[in-house]
Structure 1
Amino acid sequence: MHPNFEYLKSYFNISEESFYLLQQISSKKILKANTKIAEVGKKPNKIYQLNSGIARSFIVTESGKEWNKNLYFPTDFIGPLTAITSNKPSLLTYETLTKCEVYEVDFVKFLEYTRKHIDISNLYNKILEKVYINYEKRQLELITLNATERYRNLQKNIPNIDSIIPQFQIASYLNITPVQLSRIKKQI
């Protein structure tokens, strides 16, 4: 039996028929660092589950400054969900920061399956729960923790983050400047 089927069956009670359908609309890919998987102004139709590596979502201001909205780590789902579900262009760009192994899923087809298969609909509910929990956690960190605490949390979650992605990316994620990050690192 396929190991991914065992995983989905144990956590989400997916049937073999549904697993077969999901296989038809997904593929495993290795993406190089700095690969854009969705871009501002384009209508996307894919969602990705990150198996390894780190990715980000970001915006670029009129002055050309980039702001990371979020960083994504293994087991996270990545993609412009709002754009896909509303059939509008993405407001963010999604990009790999490191080499990433992902499952690319045709999300439009996935949504069709949720209307016909209760187990796929339940899987979708669990995915949405995970996305929402991560979103809420990120928002709470930004409003309740200072920059040093946010940095320590990031280090706790990804101990070698400083050697994986550039410091300016970390600073942007923490919503501080690279100079502020350098000061925090010196204090720690």
Structure 2
Amino acid sequence: MDELRAYLEKLIHFTENECEVFTSLFYEVKLEKYDYIAREGEYSSKLAFLSNGVMRAFFRNDSGDEYNKTFFTPPSFVAAYSSITTKQKNLINIQCLTDCTLLVADFTKITSLYRDYPRIESLARILAEYKFAIKEKREIELVTLEARQRYEIFKREHPNLENQISQYHIASYLGISPTQLSRIRAKK
């Protein structure tokens, strides 16, 4: 819980009471490699804080090909955001790529605090704005940058992740084939 508190302090200035009210909603969950916290077509209701491990958000096309949307590394909040906020079915899957430790809370319990704790609502807005900015940046990079440039950004933004996950996951995230990734890495 200390990691969650430290992360929150970087985002918003909660009073001790506000922090206690918010963090009291979370409980620890340990997941194994390949476990899911969200599956396409199901409904999600949980917000998780990743304190240990690596996760990915991905989707599958009709042929069963997988495309990695993003990676989650600690410390970060993890959720099928469109499902928890719209109460619609998940469009993505979120899977552990390593054993993971998460702190999990029911999102409706968090939103029920907004009226009495405006800073908790502000935290939700801050997180949504941050996620949107990251998403926009990534979309622009995918259509405007060469694969080699995207790979360099990946290495800078996710140091040491290459040593923790399979290369085909990285290739999928970059929008290239594993063979293309091997060629780019060989030129280094």
Q: Against the structure 1 CA distance between its residues 7 and 159, is the aligned structure 2 distance closer, same or farther, given a 3 Å change threshold? A: closer
What is the aligned partner in structure 2 of residue 23 from structure 1?
A: 23
Shift of 1:177: 0.8
Shift of 1:24: 3.0
Q: Against the structure 1 CA distance between its residues 4 and 162, is the aligned structure 2 distance closer, same or farther, given a 3 Å change threshold? A: closer
Give me the whole-angstrom Cα distance separating, in 2, the residues matched to 1:64 and 1:8: 38
What is the aligned partner in structure 1 of residue 91 from structure 2?
A: 91
Give the letter aligned to residue 135 of structure 2.
Answer: Y
Give the letter aligned to residue 35 of structure 1.
Answer: D
Give me the whole-angstrom Cα distance separating, in 2, the residues matched to 1:3 and 1:176: 35
Give the letter aligned to residue 75 of structure 2.
Answer: T
> Does the 8 Å CA contact 2:5/2:23 hold for their aligned counterparts?
no
Shift of 1:10: 6.3
Identical aligned residues as a percent = 31
Are residues 1:168 and 2:174 paired? no
Q: Which runs of 5+ in 2 are unaligned?
A: none
Q: Which runs of 5+ in 1 are unaligned?
A: none
**Structure 1 residue matching 2:170: 3-state secondary structure:** helix
Give me the whole-angstrom Cα distance separating, in 1, the residues matched to 2:187 and 2:94: 32
What is the aligned partner in structure 2 of residue 102 from structure 1?
A: 102
Aligned-residue Cα RMSD (Å) equals: 2.0
Give me the whole-angstrom Cα distance separating, in 1, the residues matched to 2:150 and 2:6: 36
Give me the whole-angstrom Cα distance separating, in 2, the residues matched to 1:183 and 1:7: 38
Q: Against the structure 1 CA distance between its residues 96 and 173, is the aligned structure 2 distance closer, same or farther, given a 3 Å change threshold? A: same
What is the aligned partner in structure 2 of residue 177 from structure 1?
A: 177
Give me the whole-angstrom Cα distance separating, in 1, the residues matched to 2:152 and 2:36: 28
Shift of 1:13: 1.8
Q: Against the structure 1 CA distance between its residues 105 and 178, is the aligned structure 2 distance closer, same or farther, given a 3 Å change threshold? A: same
What is the aligned partner in structure 2 of residue 145 from structure 1?
A: 145
> Does the 8 Å CA contact 2:51/2:102 hold for their aligned counterparts?
yes
Shift of 1:171: 0.5
**Structure 2 residue matching 1:159: 3-state secondary structure:** coil
| Deviant stretches of 4+, over 6 Å | none
> Does the 8 Å CA contact 2:3/2:51 hold for their aligned counterparts?
no
Give the letter aligned to residue 104 of structure 1.
Answer: V
Q: TM-score, normalised by structure 2?
A: 0.89
How many residues align? The count is: 187
Q: TM-score, normalised by structure 1?
A: 0.89
Give the letter aligned to residue 46 of structure 1.
Answer: K
Q: Against the structure 1 CA distance between its residues 151 and 4, is the aligned structure 2 distance closer, same or farther, given a 3 Å change threshold? A: closer
Per-residue CA deviation, residues 72-104 of structure 1 (Å, 9 max, x unaligned), is 222332211111111111011111111222221
Q: Against the structure 1 CA distance between its residues 36 and 13, is the aligned structure 2 distance closer, same or farther, given a 3 Å change threshold? A: same
What is the aligned partner in structure 2 of residue 67 from structure 1?
A: 67
Greater percentage in helix: 1
